[in-house]
Structure 1
Amino acid sequence: MPYVPVAELKNYEGKELGSSDWLLIDQKRIDLFAEATGDFQFIHVDPIKAAQTPFGSTIAHGFLSLSLIPKLMETLLVVPEGMTMAINYGLDSVRFIQPVKVDSRVRLKVTLAEVTEKKTGQWLLKAIATLEIEGQARPAFIAEPLSLCFV
């Protein structure tokens, strides 16, 4: 995470912070997510049945894709110097645009949308996170994750 002086946080509002490295979404990752959540819908875990759908293959769970935000964003999001911890504060919005097919590579593009001091020593950072799919013009999703940073 890039650390910046608290007084400079607002200077990053509206600025694109970059893109993460590419991450492969393979069947093993999809199956492990199904196991963790109990969501075994065939479109995610049965390659033979899924091949018969308009997608032509299994696809990642929407919430699997969404759950990648913290990891993919960690090297991009600017945070206040002296931060002792950060917590997931939720999402203002999320729209799933298209599914992530098995064996696709994805990356997260991040813009810092808003910086708000909630209380002394607590900074709420609102980002715009776009999950891009390699070779696709349209993203998998556009979301507005919120991170609460404690200094």
Structure 2
Amino acid sequence: MKVIRKEDLNNYIGIEMSPTDWFTVTQEQINQFADCTLDHQFIHVDEEKAKNTPFGSTIAHGLLSLSMLPHFAQRFAYMIEGTFMGVNYGFDKVRFIHPVKVGSRIRAQAKLTHAEEKAPGRYMFKMDVTIEIEGKKKPALKAVWIAMQMVA
């Protein structure tokens, strides 16, 4: 995470951040996510049955890919000096574009599109984020992610 001064915040709007490192999605991770969300649809957890689908293997839950954003943000996000807490505020738009097959490698690309002080010491950020799949033209997902930082 890159620490920046609040006076310099507008200088970072519109700049494409470097992509994150690749992350391999494993069947164990998919199974654990299924257990957490109680979403045990066969396409995610039944490797034998999933072989007979158009995907040819299990695929990660779209929400699993989305939930990787906090992990990836450690590499691409900006943090204002003096931030004592950051929280997810939501998403303006999320689109799941291409399935992530088990064993695929994914990474995130992001761009800060908006930043504003909503109240004294409370900053809202909007970022366009894309989760890419190694070797695929279409991304796994695109989203507009909103986060808040509280600055002392």
TM-score normalized by the length of structure 2 = 0.97
Task: For residue 149 of structure 2, give the secondary structure of its aligned residue in structure 1.
Answer: strand
1:18–1:111 Cα contact (<8 Å) kept: no
RMSD over aligned Cα atoms: 0.7
Aligned equivalents of 2:120, 2:19: Cα separation in 1: 31
Q: Indicate the residue corresponding to 2:104 in structure 1.
A: 104
Q: Which blocks of at least 5 consecutive residues in structure 1 are unaligned?
A: none
The one-letter amino acid paired with 2:41 is Q
Aligned equivalents of 1:18, 1:92: Cα separation in 2: 23
Identity in percent: 46
Q: Indicate the residue corresponding to 1:50 in structure 2.
A: 50
Q: Indicate the residue corresponding to 1:68 in structure 2.
A: 68
Q: Indicate the residue corresponding to 2:124 in structure 1.
A: 124
Aligned equivalents of 1:55, 1:82: Cα separation in 2: 46
For the pair 1:23 / 2:23, whether they are aligned, the reply is yes
1:108–1:132 Cα contact (<8 Å) kept: yes
Moved over 4 A (4+): none
Aligned equivalents of 2:12, 2:56: Cα separation in 1: 41
The one-letter amino acid paired with 1:92 is D
Q: CA deviation at 1:79?
A: 1.7
Q: Which blocks of at least 5 consecutive residues in structure 2 are unaligned?
A: none
Q: CA deviation at 1:75?
A: 2.1
Q: Indicate the residue corresponding to 1:147 in structure 2.
A: 147
1:130–1:142 Cα contact (<8 Å) kept: yes
Aligned equivalents of 1:130, 1:98: Cα separation in 2: 12
